[in-house]
Structure 1
Amino acid sequence: MITVITYGTYDMLHKGHINLLKRAKALGDYLIVGVTDENYDRSRGKLNVSESTKKRMKAVEALDFVDKVIVETHKGQKAEDMVKYDVDIFAIGDDWIGAFDYLNEYTHVEYLPRTEGISSTQLRKEHFSKIKLGLVGLGRDTEAFIEEAQNVSSIKINRIYAKDFLAVKAFTKDNELIKYGHDNYEDFLDTSIQAVYIDTVLDRHYHLIKAALEADKHVLCENPIALGKEELKELLHIAKKRKLILLPAVKTAFLPAFNQMLKVLEEGDIGEIREVRATRTSLYREKNYPDTFIAQGATNILSSYPSLLVKKVLGKHKSIDFFDQEENGYDISNLIITRHKGGAVGVSRVATGAKSEGDAVISGSKGYIYIPAPWWLTKSFSIRFEDEHKTQEYKYEFAGSGLRYMIAEFASLIQRNKSTSKMLTPTDIVEINRIPLEYDEFKKLRKKES
């Protein structure tokens, strides 16, 4: 029996895909098709895939001439699969001529002609119109957001709002992409934009988000999205009722390597999880950030990141303790310890007035996962055991500042009419916003008792 294998994304499965797969099957008796996982696709720069891995796999499995469908999750897997499945022929489209010659070491490589005049990119353009997105505020990530959004073809940004008219005027003058500036929020929302990205001081988030949702705009906003428990509940309720997306801009949640790490963790190789430790510190004053920004406090500014990792691994917390250091009335450092189901512990360290190694460790009963600094920009991780020879290293491509992966997910949700993301679920959103809210309650109680 001659075994043939091929790989692809197979987004919006079309005639071109099917023709190529039939040509591959004609080379042998048994056809294996590798469908690329969405995390792997994004790590390779394919940010505009419209369908989930599961949906794409089902479409390929439905083809009666395909014998087996597998998932491709990482670089180097092709060579591994050649050995694993004892492959006789590796087939791929002729637009890849030469790129896979290295696999001749394992099997015979065959480049097949593609069908002209059709592609997933073309179909996406026909099925989905560009999403018009407006920027709210001239914050610390606004410039980076604009730059990164250029890598997501389904997004178009040409409008910005900020209270300072002169600042808006200067910004639109210096930025070729942003044609329209507004200093009136109602006028800004009363345009053809479908979504907004909010990057302002934290105490304005609630009002800006609420107005945007009530104007039927999808919202991507820097976290925390609200500084009050009732405000948070109200915003989530409005978004759910109107079937709109309300997504905190915590980019770590959307990074390919971070999501692959969570999948690897599910395999249980490190045993029962005992503890998650994550550190996120930044000396913003040395980066010339204004005092008004730093005065928002380390917990408000930074806790979303370690809280996200702790929540993803350990779930909701049952109890919480804060060990903070204050300066000029706000926290410059906070050690946040949470307890979870089964006695597991989360240890989150955040600081704007102290610098620490920004790594993360997930400790289990059989081993641990180590994510090197800066862990919140996850590019690699390793699984380590008592026996050092069993160490497994994972490395992934990482483009730009990482914002493009978040923007791509936001755009994909809008296009697919999905109001929630699997990468940052509603329960994740509530949990990472609970931390600053509970810290605020902790401070009020401490002040009352003193």
Structure 2
Amino acid sequence: MTRVITYGTFDLFHEGHRRILERAREHGDHLTVGVTTEQYDEQRGKLNVRQSLMTRIENVRASGLADEIIIEERDGQKITDIQKHGIDVFVIGSDWTGKFDYLGSYCRVVYLDRTAGVSSTELRAADGGILRLGIVGAGRIARRFVPESKYVSGVEAVGVCTPHRSSAEAFAAAHELSFATTSYDDLLDRVDAVYIASPHDAHVPQTRAALAAGKHVLCEKPIALTGADAEQLYALAADRGVVLLEAIKTAYSPGFVQMVALARSGSIGEIRSVQATFTKLVEGNPRERHADGGSTRELASYPLLAIAKLLGTDVRDVQRDALTLPGSEIDDYARLTLRYDGAIGTAVVGLGVKAEGDLVAAGTAGYLYVPAPWWKAEAFELRFEDPSRNRRYTSRFDGEGLRYELAEFLSLITHGRTSSYKLSAADSTFIASTLEQALAQPPLGAAPAPVAAIA
């Protein structure tokens, strides 16, 4: 007898799950199915699992395809299970290609190609069904987003839209999506929601068109570059009764949410200053360095998010000091200063200048320190005059962090809410308005070439 084993969460059991089990059975005479616990799913970064362990086990049993069902609850268990149950073949979906090659020392490892078009979208239930998500754009962020989406239960990326058919088809093939199109209207007709990861100047018109069509929208930052555009988009979303959420991943990460709550609870007294820096060195001529890019457009949303969350949105004045380096068309470095009544926020961003990427919130009783990269907030400290009172906190930041924004987006839709406290319409509008004011102030000209030393 040839014994086969496979594993999964099997949340909202659907035709795609059934097909995997059927194909797994083809590799032997006896199929053992491992179902993951909620705790293990959380440890491995799987978010938004809706059904209980017992419900998921019962759904697998009801399929009639499993000869035996076991529970997976810890790392390293697969090796033990394979040895304990005398397994000959380990089967898993192609999403995990290469991940379990180490099991080849214990049994044969088979990665099953995904059957195009056979997925959770085929069981779209009225209550708690699978959200069909369309991807707009095929650039770097979209390529990172689709793999992250697989860690969020209840949603499936099904199609992609770009202006160029070759890039759309290549993206769809690489990520095993059901379709590719160059028509935005076609995409909207075939999905429930869109993730917009196109160039900045396309965010507003694409978001507006999707909202008008009654689709939920998760839009990459910046959602808009003017306060008026942001206000109009959120008003349209409210009118159509759909969710509009800006995809600033930091806002939804567990560590950042905890950090904001602790700082705003009075633990460091009244916050008088927030300084946040986000810089990276970008080589060549990628999108960030095009005319509609630059440090302020590309990166300022992150520190402005922190400033908004820690100091609020009632700012009196915005000042930008920006620098354009030789041979560049955009601001390679910028410092934004936001003046409040009784507080100052400072955002430092750079694409051609590197600085320490930390965050410091200074209070009247102590200060908050988040080391680089603060936008992940995997660890932070509350520090005081008396060092014995210092406290250090740690949190998770799984993968690229994009799963957190998608999980929040899906949660809002599932529970019939249209606003998130983690990043509200007011927060996004504040960021857009601040960017508008900052970008209206031209950067300094290109720095002069260094003077040669006199021999």
Aligned to 1:241: 239
Q: Distance in 1 between matches of 2:184 and 2:245?
A: 20
Alpha-carbon spacing, 1:429–1:372, altered in 2? closer, same or farther (3 Å): same
Gaps in structure 1 of 5+ consecutive residues: 1-40, 52-94, 100-124
Deviation at 1:228, TM superposition (A): 3.5
Aligned to 1:171: 171
Deviation at 1:290, TM superposition (A): 4.4
Aligned to 1:307: 304
- Pick which of 224-233 and 237-246 moved more: 224-233
Aligned partner of 1:285 among 283, 286, 297: 283
Residues 1:298 and 2:322 aligned together: no
Q: Distance in 1 between matches of 2:399 and 2:137?
A: 22
Aligned to 2:135: 135
Deviation at 1:410, TM superposition (A): 0.5
Alpha-carbon spacing, 1:256–1:247, altered in 2? closer, same or farther (3 Å): same
Deviation at 1:396, TM superposition (A): 1.2
- Residues 72-109 of structure 1 show CA distances to partners (whole Å, capped at 9, x for unaligned) of xxxxxxxxxxxxxxxxxxxxxxx89999xxxxxxxxxx
- Pick which of 247-256 and 222-231 moved more: 222-231
Q: RMSD across aligned C-alpha pairs, in angstroms?
A: 2.7
Deviation at 1:190, TM superposition (A): 1.4
SS in structure 1 at match of 2:145: helix
SS in structure 2 at match of 1:419: coil
Aligned to 1:270: 268
- Superposed, 1:223-238 pairs within 5 Å as 223-238=221-236
Q: Distance in 1 between matches of 2:221 and 2:160?
A: 19
Share of identical aligned residues, percent?
37
- Residues 267-321 of structure 1 show CA distances to partners (whole Å, capped at 9, x for unaligned) of 31211111000000111226x7346547511101101000000000101111111
SS in structure 1 at match of 2:438: helix
Alpha-carbon spacing, 1:50–1:429, altered in 2? closer, same or farther (3 Å): farther
- Pick which of 125-134 and 388-397 moved more: 125-134
Aligned residues: 335
Aligned to 2:442: 443
Alpha-carbon spacing, 1:293–1:249, altered in 2? closer, same or farther (3 Å): farther
Aligned to 2:365: 366
Q: Distance in 2 between matches of 1:150 and 1:409?
A: 14
Letter in 2 for 1:340: Y
Contact 2:290 2:330 in 1 (8 A): no
Aligned to 2:400: 401
Aligned to 1:48: 48
SS in structure 2 at match of 1:267: helix
Q: Distance in 1 between matches of 2:183 and 2:234?
A: 25
Letter in 1 for 2:147: E
Letter in 2 for 1:147: P
SS in structure 1 at match of 2:398: coil
Letter in 1 for 2:181: H
Residues 1:147 and 2:141 aligned together: no
Aligned to 1:333: 333
Aligned to 2:198: 200
Contact 1:43 1:397 in 2 (8 A): no
Alpha-carbon spacing, 1:339–1:97, altered in 2? closer, same or farther (3 Å): closer
Alpha-carbon spacing, 1:42–1:312, altered in 2? closer, same or farther (3 Å): farther
Contact 2:290 2:329 in 1 (8 A): no
- Superposed, 1:53-92 pairs within 5 Å as none
Deviation at 1:230, TM superposition (A): 3.3
Aligned to 1:19: none
Contact 2:135 2:196 in 1 (8 A): yes
Q: Distance in 1 between matches of 2:203 and 2:348?
A: 24
Deviation at 1:397, TM superposition (A): 2.1
Q: Distance in 1 between matches of 2:170 and 2:144?
A: 17
Contact 1:252 1:305 in 2 (8 A): yes
Alpha-carbon spacing, 1:49–1:263, altered in 2? closer, same or farther (3 Å): farther
Aligned to 2:425: 426
Deviation at 1:330, TM superposition (A): 1.8
- Pick which of 208-217 and 232-241 moved more: 232-241
Higher helix proportion (structure 1 or 2) = 1
Q: Distance in 2 between matches of 1:183 and 1:256?
A: 36
- Residues 165-201 of structure 1 show CA distances to partners (whole Å, capped at 9, x for unaligned) of 111122222322x12000011111112x111001111
Q: TM-score, normalised by structure 2?
A: 0.69
Alpha-carbon spacing, 1:292–1:181, altered in 2? closer, same or farther (3 Å): farther
